[in-house]
Amino acid sequence: MKRLSLIAISAVMAVFSYLPFANAGNSAWLPAPGGGSVSLSLIYQNAEEFYRGSEKVPGPLAEDDLTQKTATVQIKYGLMDSVALDLAVGGSEASKPGAGPKESDNERGVTDINVGVTVRVVDEAVTQGPSIAFRVGGIKSGSYDTGYINSIGDGGDGFEVSGIIGKFLSDNFAVSGELGYRMRNEDIPDAIFANVTGSLIFADMFGLSVNYTMENSTDGIDIGSEGFTPSLFPETEEDTHTLGSTLTFLVGGGASISGSYARVIDGRNAGEYNIFAVSLGYSF
């Protein structure tokens, strides 16, 4: 039951994995063969300031906050005992920030599609050590305009690889982490991403998770640097550090509902976002 609770919680926690400013990560606790989860997440994020390079400034956000609303569907499926598939796609709309090269239009479109396979190589249920898994994911650029401060994404295809670890330290408390590397085309800088999560389960009905996530581009240019133009937004060195939490209620019959909040606490060439989300999940 504890394992099933963690699968449900991690299914809705992954809402942050597919936002451009956070990556809450994937799980080493995989669904059983033929089982899985489906979740619908409604996400709202806003920023009053952003990091131009490493300096936090109001800049073009002085008149209006930069806001983004996203609806994301995520599916996880247990293909075999130690292999699981995942898919995430959604739609998003970002407001105009009150200034910039495209002042009059909101940006909207289909988000990047992320599909992956996770292989667990060590299962804590049969060993003394933690569960260990590796994931390979493919990224297909969504349908949206690039080159604006309010663009939904960077507009590149690519892939990512990561190692994942998780361990129950007691019947009700588990920790997990992920470290990965992402590569995309269109001159988008490669990025290292990582996350650490602690999850506490109450009476098999409530779950509280706290997570720290990091994404760090390996190179790139700064907003406002010499020669910078809006068309170069996808090529910026975009770094983020995010702290967040998720509260999940397991309704019964495999259904769950959760609320999440995260905040970008430091960054480079990124908005200082507050991120709110509500997720409805079903595990089968």
**Would you list the domain boundaries of the chain?**
2-283
Q: What mean pLDDT value characterizes the chain? A: 84
Which residues on neighbouring strands pair with residue 186, listed in sequence order?
none
Helix count and strand count (H, E) for the chain? 1, 14
Report the C-alpha gap between 20 and 141 in whole angstroms.
Answer: 12
Residue 94 corresponds to which tokens in the numbers above?
């970002």
- The model's confidence at residue 92, banded by pLDDT at 50, 70 and 90, is very high
Report the C-alpha gap between 149 and 152 in whole angstroms.
Answer: 9
Domain 2-283, CATH homologous superfamily name and number: monomeric porin ompg (2.40.160.40)
- Report which of 137, 134, 119 is spatially closest to residue 184, judged by C-alpha positions: 137
Residue 273 corresponds to which tokens in the numbers above?
């976002």
Q: What pLDDT was estimated at residue 190?
A: 97
Report the C-alpha gap between 77 and 159 in whole angstroms.
Answer: 20
Q: Mean pLDDT across the stretch 4-9?
A: 54
pLDDT at 99 over 90: no
Which of 89-93, 112-116, 184-188, 249-253 bottoms out in mean pLDDT, i.e. has the lowest? 249-253
Q: Mean pLDDT across the stretch 178-191?
A: 95
Residues 6+ apart with CB under 8 A from 3: 29, 125
- Report which of 265, 215, 223, 275 is spatially closest to residue 242, judged by C-alpha positions: 265
Which of 15-24, 137-146, 227-236 bottoms out in mean pLDDT, i.e. has the lowest? 15-24
